[in-house]
Amino acid sequence: MSLKNQVVVVTGASSGIGALTARMLSERGADVILAARSADKLEKIGAELRGSFKLLTMDVGDDLSVADGFQEILAQYGRVDCLLNNAGYGKFTYCDEMPLAEFSAMMNVNYMGVVRCTKAVLPYMKEARSGRIVNVASLAGKLGTAKSTAYAATKHAVLGFSSALRQEVREYGIKVTTINPGPIDTPFFDLADPTGHYVNNVKGLMLKPERVARAIVAAVEKGPVEVNMPWAFGAGAKLYQLFPRLADMLSYRMLNKK
């Protein structure tokens, strides 16, 4: 679809992939709503944008914040043509060392945030019999590695939700896409990997954020079922589906870099 005058909501838009993608969408003529918790960070991003946009302080982890945020969006624009669920975070540590509260908090943002925002727009998309929902998951949702038990579980949940939702909304002309990247060179790792150990081990494999943002914009335009990147990591995930024991052995040796 053409992005000209399309109303696109981007969550987690105050930094990293969200901010870059919002900028690219705006440059292509979309009416972009940048949603994030930090008003200060949003203001800095907004100062760099061209075109039509709205800055919205919203916490995807809070029911009321999401309800109020989308009520404001719909009151101003009357519709949402595309929802880009990008908000999320990770922390890498062993299962027995991570507090239960952190498991719950991560699931609340990474997975339930997707559910909240999707439920907010779905009735309007179904009525319009059109729309795009693009969920930024991760290849961790296809192939888990050590120290990512909480994070990988949230992304597995996003993939399962997206797959089931795709079947539910197909008859309404709504397309659901998942973006499944490997490690990306963004501030995500400031929290996920504060020691820098993982980043140092995989820096040669890290994706450039601009590349991922371009892939997301292309997905908004074309509506594929999923995008896996880089290709080699996507192939590894497929190998796991076909030969789980072999893939588990290989991933233990090659991918456990955290």
Rounded CA separation 243/56 (Å):
45
Q: Classify 138 as helix, strand or coil.
A: coil
Q: Which of 173, 189, 192 is nearest to 133 (CA)?
A: 173
User: What does the block give as tokens for 179?
Assistant: 């973006």
Helix (H, G, I), strand (E, B) or coil at 41: helix
Distance CA 65, CA 59 (A): 6
Rounded Cα distance between 8 and 76, Å, is 13
Q: State the catalytic residue, choosing from 89, 94, 111, 151.
A: 151
How big is the chain, counted in residues?
258
CA 106, distance to chain mean position in Å, is 13
151 close to 106: Cβ distance less than 8 angstroms: yes
Q: Which residue has the tokens 């888990």?
A: 144
d(CA 186, CA 16): 5
- E strand or H helix at 32: strand 31-36
Q: Is 124 annotated in the active site?
A: no
Please list the active-site residues. 151
